[in-house]
Amino acid sequence: MGCHRSFVSSLTMASLAVALVLTAAIITASAAGGDSPDLHEVKVRRHLKMPNKPKTALESIKSPDGDIIDCIPINQQPAFEHPLLKTHTIQMKPSFHPEEVFAESKVSSNTTKQSKDVLSQLWHMNGKCRENTVPIRRTRREDLTRANSIENYGKKNKKSIPQPKSYDPASVLTHNNHQHAIVYVEKGKFYGAKAKMNVWKPVVQMHNEFSLGQIWVLGGSFDADLNSIEAGWQVSPQLYGDSNTRLFTYWTSDAYQRTGCYNLLCSGFVQTNKDIALGGSISPISSYDGSQYDITILIWKDPKEGNWWLKMGKKYVIGYWPASLFTHLSDSASMIQWGGEVVNSREDGRHTTTQMGSGHFAEEGWKKASYFSHVQTVDGSNTLRDPVGLQVFADQERCYNVKSGSGGPWRSYFFYGGPGRNPNCP
């Protein structure tokens, strides 16, 4: 009996030693920037079940660009996996829409300056989701393989926002090789923002870089408590696996540290629309000195329920970010930004050739540069108004720049963008 107990004890100790060695190996691999193959596979399988649930799809639609769009029952979408939304009751439509002060004109004073305000996605060619479902772009194994880490898939860099000493876009935005050309308003109470932006397909040099045009709705001190709601279009090879222009959203309540993500890649955003897939490809795209296509984005805070709603174009109310996700934005925003952003990886010591917008500077103007028109904010009376005290900012004007204007049917507007590396931006 004693020998048997001794043998079992020795076996147990040996097993424990093996376990400790394996654990140490996993920790060492993680510390070195990677997981063991087995642990990595476990993480991949686990994550593939998290952001969307193909098994609950009532229908799956294959898009011409290779995406698979799953039509998920509205009450089974990822939002309700969030701890704060376990008992959340879906608000199917906003209680109020912001009101225009003046009727919006579709054409500028130059009658040839016309664009088409459309929002069509490629997957619509092969089908649509039925009522009481929402379209979700399926996350696949290859999406996770491209990510820097599985844990951070669908998230921005945790270091993408520094800890500035002042409430200054120059100190807020110049960070971690992210570069911007924006206009902004600050030091007020804002309850939403709107703009019309033309859509392009900028060339992105490195797989880990991106280029986008978007609206930011911000609250907080730009420190660990920054709240941000974002929406627009982007080209991001690392996130999507191609160079298509895609509709996107983002949110965070802690300066991109732990909370939030792109689109529906984590819980939080509640989608109510069955026609538009966040992360889906947009078509058609503007062409240089040719046809111009744009999308209109409106983000506003519902004055009754407090949720932040997202509307695309004239008819697509997409869904909302519940007020409970936020601290500062649970009341109002303190800053609004509109414009472009790129990542400049500088891996070869030179500036990236990743384009912003059309890839042409702001001064080239209509049909050649990217633009935002009808730039507006939402005030406390739920009214859309032209911004007061609009300011401009660009990290490196020789690489990407911005030029603003006002008046005429375009109201408040600006052109922005650039080619990145050029003789004046080495």
Domain boundaries, the chain: 2-34, 54-417
Banded pLDDT at 48 (limits 50, 70, 90): low
Catalytic residue among 209, 341, 347, 397: 341
387 neighbors 336 (Cβ within 8 angstroms):
yes
Catalytic residue among 131, 230, 347, 364: 230
DSSP assignment of 38-51, as one string?
HHHHHHHHHHHTSS
Report DSSP state, residue 425: B
Measured at the alpha carbon of residue 233, what is the angle toward residues 228 and 238, in degrees to the nearest 5?
Answer: 90
Lowest mean pLDDT among 151-160, 180-189, 386-395: 151-160
Residues of the chain above pLDDT 70, percent? 80
230 has pLDDT over 70: yes
215 neighbors 297 (Cβ within 8 angstroms):
yes
Nearest to 60 by CA among 52, 387, 232: 52
**What is residue 158's predicted lDDT score, i.e. its pLDDT?**
57
**What is residue 37's predicted lDDT score, i.e. its pLDDT?**
59
Q: What is the pLDDT of residues 333-361, one digit of tens each?
A: 999 999 999 999 987 889 999 999 999 99
Most confident of 99-113, 154-168, 286-300: 286-300
**What is residue 153's predicted lDDT score, i.e. its pLDDT?**
87
The amino acid sitting at 40 is H
**What is residue 22's predicted lDDT score, i.e. its pLDDT?**
28
Q: What is the pLDDT of residues 241-276, one digit of tens each?
A: 999 999 999 999 999 999 999 999 999 999 999 999
Identify the residue with better confidence: 224 or 296: 296
Task: Tell whether the torsion through CA atoms of 29, 33, 36 and 38 is positive or negative.
Answer: positive
Banded pLDDT at 125 (limits 50, 70, 90): very high
Residues of the chain above pLDDT 90, percent? 70
Is 363 among the catalytic positions?
A: no
Banded pLDDT at 56 (limits 50, 70, 90): confident
94 has pLDDT over 70: yes
Per-residue pLDDT, averaged over 325-337, amounts to 96
Is 230 among the catalytic positions?
A: yes
Mean pLDDT of the chain: 85
Tokens describing residue 116: 């088409």
**What is residue 242's predicted lDDT score, i.e. its pLDDT?**
97
DSSP assignment of 162-231, as one string?
---SSS-HHHHH-BTTEEEEEEEEEEEEE-EEEEEEE-------STT--EEEEEEEEES-SSTT-EEEEE
Beta bridge mates, 300: 192, 309
42 has pLDDT over 50: yes
232 has pLDDT over 90: yes
**What is residue 116's predicted lDDT score, i.e. its pLDDT?**
82
Per-residue pLDDT, averaged over 281-304, amounts to 96
Q: Whole-angstrom Cα distance, residue 290 to residue 218?
A: 34
